[in-house]
Structure 1
Amino acid sequence: MKNILNLNIWREIKDSKGRFFSIMGLIALAVFVFVGLKATSPDMRNAVRKDYVQQNLADAKINTPGTQGFTKHEQDVIKQQKYVDRTEYGYQADAKIHGKQMAMQVISKPDQLSKMEVKSGHLPKHANEIALGEQLKGQYKIGDTITLTDNHDKQLSTLQGKTFKVTGFVRSAQYMKKQNMGSTVMADGKINAFGVLPDQAFTGQPNVVQVSYKNVSGPAYSDKYENQARQDTDKLQKKLNTLSADRRADMQKNIDQQLSLAQAKQQEAQQAVQAAQGTPMVAQAQAALTEVDAKMNEAKQAKANVQQLKYTAQTRQGFSGGYSEFGSDADRVAELSNTFPIFFFAVALMVSFVTMQRMADVKRTEVGTLRALGYTHIQAMREFIVYSILVATAGTIVGTLVGLTVLPDRIFQAFGSTFYTNGVSYGITWWPIIVSYGLALLSTVFPAVYTTYADMREQAATQMLPKPPANGKRILLERWTWLWSKLSFFNKVPLRNLFSYKIRMWMTILGVAGSIALLITGFGIRDSLNKIVPLQYNQLVHYDVTGVYNPDASSTDRQAYQKSVDEDRNVKGETKVHMDNAQVNVKGLQDKQAVQVLVPQDTKQFKSYLTLRDYKTKKALHLNNDEAVVTEKLAKIKGLKVGDTIRLDDATGQGHRVKIGAIAEMYAGHTIVMNKAYYHKVYDSKPTANATLIRLNDSSTKAMRDMSVKLNKEKAAVTTIQSGSIRNDINTVLNSLNQVVLVIIVAAALLAFTVLYTLTNINVSERIKELSTLKVLGFYPKEVLEYIYRETAALTLAGIVLGYAFGYAVHAYLMSVVMPENTMSAPGVTVLNLAVSTLMIVFFALIVLWLMARKINRVDMLGALK
């Protein structure tokens, strides 16, 4: 008896391969997307977490300007903080690679914290040796020499030598990015490589401190770890503020004493020059005065530089180039996994539910026969239970295997292409698999068992008979006799079927609507991403290079800097601004958001360099004396509106409250713009111009780079920022997201085809006797096909129209969760998007039509009518 039932189950699978594999495919697709995306985010994090643990990446890093280092007292105070576990002092300096307009950062060889992973060769042992980061692996090989200089090809004051022998190549979690790891005054203003030198290769005192904390726990990127590390670093910064203030006061006192002595000598020298007038000694006296004046100016410059002595502490989010970006990429995948798979599961499970319910209806007579032969209810339902479990299990296994391997690897390659990592770390996250399997069983076992059990309430003899057809009902259109009488037979029948079988109708409409909505979303995300750069740099940002300089530099150096701008023939125009870097805490985000504060010196001129327009009305915005203009994404993530205030923290953690007067359209970066009067009110100091926004006649990437290199050679230069570099950074992120979008589009296309095939197959199977009757009556094959496919076409069309609305909503929602925290999405659902998505659905529908035509033409008419 058991063998007979098992044979019946396998026969049913063999005879309904299309239904079995279509349901399995739907479940596999949904599981693939859900399990795959859920696994990808932790796999990405675990891949780099291993590197952080192996290298013992520091929890924080302290930087101090210059090479004066830390006093013994300061070192003791830092170490004595109760939350500090270990401190390790080292060196850090920026340099230009001789013969290349390329900047790199060199650091001393670490001992315990933030160690290096040696990929080939070995770490340097002597002062003339260096290990290079992998960024330079294609340009140098072990045994080569590399020359490091300042911008004028002279030896750096921070290094003992210029030329170093390459001993190996290393990887560091401090420098995960393949390029643009920070700003510098060297070369074109971007740090694109790093190297490791022994301590004896540096001059001066150690100027960086790697710090580990006692009270941190949890893995990197977890809220528990990141929040505690940030709290400790904030406390450490407050202590550093006190230390640097005391150090500045001591240095100021010494400089004041030197100035007093210099002033006294200056007066003596001036008197000596008066006394020597008309004598041979006048030249010697004048030379002495010039020497004293030079020392006086040096002392004054040193006094101005003292104010720049500020110790800054940063968590990994700040000092490790790539740490924050990689974590944000993993977060975006996690957000996508919380939303996108829902739509896949909704469509897939809905169709699976209807298909299995239909199977139970078709097998009604067989179940009644088994009951009549003496089989128990459970035995009679065994075919449905086993069949449902098999299809759910097979779909879950296939979807899980592909999802756990293909999707994490594909997405990791997309996002990881801009980082140096050791590859994806595969892992199994069990709860998504269990949830997926449970939903799969619910969508297959439940409808089959429920429908069969409901039929079993009848007598076995009654159940052996086909279910009587439902009483015919007039549809609403039939009551409109004028219209109904004019319709042909082939038009009336589809209309009756459409509205008589409402469940099948809505399943088809919703299935198609869900599929096209996913296609529209995928293409829409791609289009939105591709619009960001043109919108930002064609309509809003009109300058090409930002030259940042030291306003406290000597007047001679500042004049030389300005002269290099004025005399450059490629400069189309320039305007002065005061630029500050600030940070903003955002609830729910682990790292602080970087904000650029701009204060134009000439507000009228400034409008030609940055367009400030309302993010809703697109009307021009104006700066007033009581409020600032905030860009849209910053206002959005902070939940701010006009009239609210926002706190800005400077590098030392000091906060300033800014009132929002308007919200401006901006697609990349966080910016706050205010006039000089309001800046003075907020910061209690007058804004001094420290940056020049420059427009170029030739705004090519090469021209921007050449301008940056030229400006950075000036003594007053701090760094330069190229718009082209920012565009490249944005495009890098967008290209990574586009790779994910491609996966979404392919999965959505497969889902659309499978849904159309499954639902159309159900429709044909349900109507096989009806179609056979038409063929027996002499209808041509084309007429029989049109008879059934008019309904499919009508339902597909209705699903497409409804899918447009779904697509707009889903696209808008997903764009709000997948974009980086400092990037605003652009409108992306275009007419071309709708057209392509519609054509794909129509194409799939035509393929299904062809497959169904073959099935209908092979039907045994007499056998179907028995």
Structure 2
Amino acid sequence: MKNKTIIISSFRNMTQSSKRFISLLFMALLGVGFYAGISSTSQDMLSTLDTYLDQSKAHDLQIQSTLGLSKADLASLEKLSDIDSVQGIYTKDELIEPVFSKAAPSKKDETAIAKVIGIPDKLDKISLVKGRLPQKDSEIVVEEAYLTKNKVKLGDSLKMTDSDLTNETFKIVGTVKSPLYFSKVHRGTTSLGDGQIDYFMYVKPSVFKQDAYSVIALTVKGAKEEMTSQTAYLDKIAAAKKEVESIKEAQETQRFETVYADYLNPTAMASGLVKRDSLPPAKWYITDRQDDTGYKDFIDTTKSIAKVGRVFPVVFYVIAVLISLVSMARMVEEDRSEIGTLKALGFSNPAIALKYGLFSLSATLVGGVIGMFIGLNLIPNLIWNIYTSLFTIPKFIVLFQPVYCLTGLAIALICICGGALVAVYRELIYTTSILMRPKAPKAGKRILLEYVPVIWNRFSFSNKIVMRNLFRYKTRAIVTILGIAGCTALILAGFGLKDSITDIVKYQYGNVFKYDKLVSLKASTDEQPLLNDLSKNKEVAHMANLSMATKQVSSHGEVYDVTVIVPDDIQTFKQVISLNDINDNKKAVSLTGNQAIISQKLAKLLKVQEKGSITFKDSRDETHEVEVGKIVENYIQNYVYLPKATSQAIFGEYDTNVVAVKLKNKLSTQADQKFDASLLTNQSVASVINSRTTVSMINDTMTSLNLVVLILIVSSAILAFVVMYNLATINISERKREIATLKVLGFYDQETDAYITKENTIFTIVGIIIGLVSGVYLCHFIISTCETDTLMFVRHVNTLSFVFASALTTSFTVIVNLITHFSLKKIDMIDALKNIE
């Protein structure tokens, strides 16, 4: 019967203290929703990738060889106990030229580099997007980007001249997606052109004349049942990789002897014309998914989101603890005499605590469940929509993640209900007689300002009361300031994250890359006619011959694909690319001597500093160590700059394949397009990369990240409002008698409002100042966890972001002060002033 009475009383309180109940509900909703949503996003993305790769039967391991791979290699791999399935695949890197009719003169005749692959029938299966798959050797399917970027449509043709292919011209019959290329950014490297593959394309395997496979794809037994990139999956892959390596040497020897059978016969060897050691060896390269740059970027992205999911909710929960503690403490204090009465009637301390526990528990459960469903569905989908600009995975899978939901709810229960129980038991320690009497007011004390007459005597009477109250209610003051500071810090971190992301384009193409055009040259062509034309062009200010190629660089066990830039002439190079030393106030440095200059993000990834060293591999797989001279400013992609002599010593003969062009003035869009079109008419030009177009594309990608910022800012803003409103409500409830006394003494409504709102304003100002300072550090911490291997965010927060964060918090104070005005008008003076006893 007693427990029933307590439960009824608790539910009655939910109606009577509805504002307090709703505020606790919103605290739980925001905390659980944000935690469950952000935490589950990384797992949803990983599950989406895993499902896509499983459905496409994507390889777990891949083998390539310097001399190709034979059917004998395929048969030997099929016998391994850890290998589930094996697929031999033909591939070729090709220069692709669109074949247009004379009726379409407006289309550009550009050369692109494509990875042409024979359609596999078992592993790494492609999915059709439009059209159909090739039925003849003269047909081909391409990725959608090739059509859109080159203004090509289904039914058009393309050309590739290669004696290893049965056809020269291919008709485009469809577009496809490939599990090998779900990243829109990375297409791999090649020895053709600038070293970067632009597109992937698929043809029938019979198109390839070669006998040897280019690649062998393998799946590992039991790997499909595990989540990709997770420990259990990686353990299975490592075991299978070790088993493959056990037959590696024998298969390499067998392949070597097969390929060079004519050279290794006794007659040839006896003649002395051929030496075994002089023949290029057959060398296997065994890679797994982790070695694919696009895959690694996706996994790194999920890890970054998971890290963010461990940072922001902490702030939400800390504020929830503070607010719930103060809110419930005030509720308990208001019910002080009732608690004493209950104790006098024989109710135990746990029974009385149950009343307030149920109140906070109900608010937390309702808010937590609502937040759980909103967070699980809204946040992952919003974030995934952002990353669709980087990855092409057909369908996003949102899963119910009970672990994150229950964890988030458990934390909320501990924070909010724990705060409520702490507040209750702080009162229950007193005896019944003490609880049944009003709590004695604190003894008045002089504050520090009263000892400074020059300042204190200038205050009006009402201002003196405000200043005394600020120091009288210390707990409420500290909680209010911390709550406002925390919310302001979150809002500023959101704006700062936006600044750091969006400014990288401006810094990359303002401080580092000065050129306007990057002209890629066709292989084995003379660039001099092009240079002569450019030198005569009145729009051209500077131009520089460059060699740009993607190479593998390593240090301290870390290996990365980077763009290596080698200038033909140092002086012209300075006009198009600026090398700014990050360790010397971004002072411009020259590329001299035999040292490499590397970009700052690459230095961080390779764990290398100035005077350290990095290692390159040449075409013969021999290593070359180069000392790092300077580390320079860079924000997008990773670069290594080498002097011409150093490059020749490592990679052999120098060959200009790119010309960087800087214009005298910025051209209009129409003039810019005309300039590009004139360049493409030159026989030696393969393609033109327009910096304006590149900047626009990157900005479009970066703009999509504003959704993440919007999620953060909106959540923080709601939190800020709930905190300020809740604390303002507590402030009024604590001082009803005081406010009623002022009204009886003849204070006008405006004067009574000022009595409260001045305190709110002071708290807001102090909270904003602390929040802005801490927000900068929070923003930098978030940036350091969110960066990918190819991006270096700018570590700064723009002045406008400080203004916006301050303005948002201030606007909430104004709204709360307006609500406070109407709450103060509703105070019943007689009820507030009557003797409690």
Q: Which bin holds the TM-score, normalised by the shorter protein? A: 0.7 to 0.9
Residue 145 of structure 1 aligns to a residue whose secondary structure is coil
2:791 is the alignment partner of 1:823: yes
Which residue number in structure 2 is paired with residue 287 of structure 1? none
Q: Residue 652 and residue 52 in structure 1: after superposition, are their counterparts in 2 closer, same or farther (change >3 A)?
A: farther
Once the two structures are superposed, residues 464-505 of structure 1 have per-residue CA deviations (whole angstroms, 9 ceiling, x without a partner) of: 112111222221122224432332211111111111221111
Aligned equivalents of 2:518, 2:758: Cα separation in 1:
63
Q: Is the 8 A contact 1:630 1:671 kept in 2?
A: yes
Once the two structures are superposed, residues 10-65 of structure 1 have per-residue CA deviations (whole angstroms, 9 ceiling, x without a partner) of: 22111111111111112211222211110000101111211100111123445689
Shift of residue 854, structure 1, vs aligned partner: 0.9
Q: Is the 8 A contact 2:553 2:561 kept in 1?
A: yes
1:9 is aligned with what amino acid?
Answer: S
2:568 is the alignment partner of 1:601: yes
2:659 is aligned with what amino acid?
Answer: L
2:159 is aligned with what amino acid?
Answer: T
Deviates most, 179-188 or 207-216: 179-188
Q: Residue 547 and residue 535 in structure 1: after superposition, are their counterparts in 2 closer, same or farther (change >3 A)?
A: same
2:171 is the alignment partner of 1:164: yes
Which residue number in structure 2 is paired with residue 772 of structure 1? 740
Residue 171 of structure 2 aligns to a residue whose secondary structure is strand
Calculate the TM-score normalised by the size of structure 1.
Answer: 0.82
Once the two structures are superposed, residues 777-827 of structure 1 have per-residue CA deviations (whole angstroms, 9 ceiling, x without a partner) of: 111001000001111100110011111110111111111111222211114
2:786 is aligned with what amino acid?
Answer: V
Aligned equivalents of 1:735, 1:89: Cα separation in 2:
39
Q: Residue 622 and residue 690 in structure 1: after superposition, are their counterparts in 2 closer, same or farther (change >3 A)?
A: same
- CA RMSD for the aligned pairs? 4.1
Aligned equivalents of 1:449, 1:640: Cα separation in 2:
53
Which residue number in structure 2 is paired with residue 611 of structure 1? 578
2:731 is the alignment partner of 1:763: yes
Which residue number in structure 1 is paired with residue 229 of structure 2? 221
Match of 2:159 among 149, 155, 160: 149
Which residue number in structure 2 is paired with residue 625 of structure 1? 593
Residue 793 of structure 2 aligns to a residue whose secondary structure is coil
Which residue number in structure 2 is paired with residue 539 of structure 1? 511
Once the two structures are superposed, residues 70-110 of structure 1 have per-residue CA deviations (whole angstroms, 9 ceiling, x without a partner) of: 56677678778997662412244543343355756543221
Which residue number in structure 1 is paired with residue 22 of structure 2? 21
Q: Is the 8 A contact 2:568 2:656 kept in 1?
A: no
Deviates most, 88-97 or 403-412: 88-97
Match of 2:337 among 365, 377, 382: 365
Once the two structures are superposed, residues 813-859 of structure 1 have per-residue CA deviations (whole angstroms, 9 ceiling, x without a partner) of: 11111122221111431221111111111111111111111111111
Aligned equivalents of 1:784, 1:721: Cα separation in 2:
67
Deviates most, 390-399 or 698-707: 698-707
1:596 is aligned with what amino acid?
Answer: T
Q: Is the 8 A contact 2:69 2:255 kept in 1?
A: no
Aligned equivalents of 1:163, 1:675: Cα separation in 2:
42
Match of 2:439 among 467, 470, 473: 467
Q: Residue 822 and residue 170 in structure 1: after superposition, are their counterparts in 2 closer, same or farther (change >3 A)?
A: closer
Which residue number in structure 2 is paired with residue 498 of structure 1? 470
Which residue number in structure 1 is paired with residue 88 of structure 2? 88
Residue 607 of structure 1 aligns to a residue whose secondary structure is helix
Deviates most, 53-62 or 565-574: 565-574
Q: Residue 687 and residue 852 in structure 1: after superposition, are their counterparts in 2 closer, same or farther (change >3 A)?
A: farther
Q: Is the 8 A contact 2:189 2:550 kept in 1?
A: no
1:475 is aligned with what amino acid?
Answer: I
2:824 is the alignment partner of 1:852: no
Which residue number in structure 2 is paired with residue 564 of structure 1? 530
1:27 is aligned with what amino acid?
Answer: A
Q: Residue 81 and residue 373 in structure 1: after superposition, are their counterparts in 2 closer, same or farther (change >3 A)?
A: closer
Aligned equivalents of 2:802, 2:336: Cα separation in 1:
43
2:367 is the alignment partner of 1:400: no
Q: Residue 696 and residue 444 in structure 1: after superposition, are their counterparts in 2 closer, same or farther (change >3 A)?
A: closer
Aligned equivalents of 1:80, 1:518: Cα separation in 2:
57
Q: Residue 13 and residue 313 in structure 1: after superposition, are their counterparts in 2 closer, same or farther (change >3 A)?
A: same
Which residue number in structure 1 is paired with residue 269 of structure 2? none
Residue 485 of structure 2 aligns to a residue whose secondary structure is helix
Residue 567 of structure 1 aligns to a residue whose secondary structure is helix
Shift of residue 334, structure 1, vs aligned partner: 1.7
Aligned equivalents of 1:633, 1:177: Cα separation in 2:
21
Q: Percent identity?
A: 28
Q: Residue 331 and residue 722 in structure 1: after superposition, are their counterparts in 2 closer, same or farther (change >3 A)?
A: farther
2:55 is aligned with what amino acid?
Answer: Q
Deviates most, 459-468 or 185-194: 185-194
1:581 is aligned with what amino acid?
Answer: T
Residue 402 of structure 1 aligns to a residue whose secondary structure is helix
1:775 is aligned with what amino acid?
Answer: K
Which residue number in structure 2 is paired with residue 642 of structure 1? 610
Match of 1:175 among 152, 172, 181: 181
Shift of residue 532, structure 1, vs aligned partner: 0.8
1:176 is aligned with what amino acid?
Answer: F
Which residue number in structure 2 is paired with residue 689 of structure 1? 655
Once the two structures are superposed, residues 571-592 of structure 1 have per-residue CA deviations (whole angstroms, 9 ceiling, x without a partner) of: 6543334444333458898xx4
Q: Is the 8 A contact 2:23 2:722 kept in 1?
A: yes
Residue 597 of structure 2 aligns to a residue whose secondary structure is strand
Aligned equivalents of 1:588, 1:746: Cα separation in 2:
42
1:38 is aligned with what amino acid?
Answer: S
Deviates most, 727-736 or 15-24: 727-736
2:766 is the alignment partner of 1:798: yes
Q: Is the 8 A contact 1:91 1:206 kept in 2?
A: no
Aligned equivalents of 1:20, 1:461: Cα separation in 2:
29
Match of 1:390 among 349, 362, 367: 362
Which residue number in structure 1 is paired with residue 42 of structure 2? 41
Q: Is the 8 A contact 2:489 2:772 kept in 1?
A: yes
2:417 is the alignment partner of 1:445: yes
Q: Residue 469 and residue 118 in structure 1: after superposition, are their counterparts in 2 closer, same or farther (change >3 A)?
A: same
Matches within 5 A, 1:149-298: 149-150=159-160, 158-160=165-167, 162-164=169-171, 166=173, 170-177=176-183, 181=187, 194-205=200-211, 208-212=214-218, 214=220, 217=223, 218-222=226-230, 225=233, 232=241
Aligned equivalents of 1:527, 1:862: Cα separation in 2:
55
Q: Is the 8 A contact 1:79 1:87 kept in 2?
A: no
Residue 366 of structure 1 aligns to a residue whose secondary structure is helix
Deviates most, 108-117 or 181-190: 181-190
Aligned length: 795
Shift of residue 348, structure 1, vs aligned partner: 2.8
1:212 is aligned with what amino acid?
Answer: L
Which residue number in structure 2 is paired with residue 738 of structure 1? 706
Structure 2: segments with no counterpart, 5+ residues:
101-106, 265-278
Q: Residue 737 and residue 686 in structure 1: after superposition, are their counterparts in 2 closer, same or farther (change >3 A)?
A: same
Q: Is the 8 A contact 1:578 1:598 kept in 2?
A: yes
Q: Residue 585 and residue 18 in structure 1: after superposition, are their counterparts in 2 closer, same or farther (change >3 A)?
A: farther
Q: Is the 8 A contact 1:543 1:693 kept in 2?
A: no
Matches within 5 A, 1:21-170: 21-61=22-62, 70=69, 86-92=86-92, 94=94, 95-99=96-100, 101=108, 103=112, 105-119=115-129, 123-133=133-143, 135=145, 145-150=155-160, 158-160=165-167, 162-164=169-171, 166=173, 170=176
2:318 is the alignment partner of 1:346: yes
Shift of residue 223, structure 1, vs aligned partner: 5.5
1:856 is aligned with what amino acid?
Answer: L
Shift of residue 203, structure 1, vs aligned partner: 4.3
Once the two structures are superposed, residues 758-792 of structure 1 have per-residue CA deviations (whole angstroms, 9 ceiling, x without a partner) of: 11111111111111111111110010000011111
Residue 360 of structure 1 aligns to a residue whose secondary structure is helix
Shift of residue 149, structure 1, vs aligned partner: 1.4
Residue 824 of structure 2 aligns to a residue whose secondary structure is helix
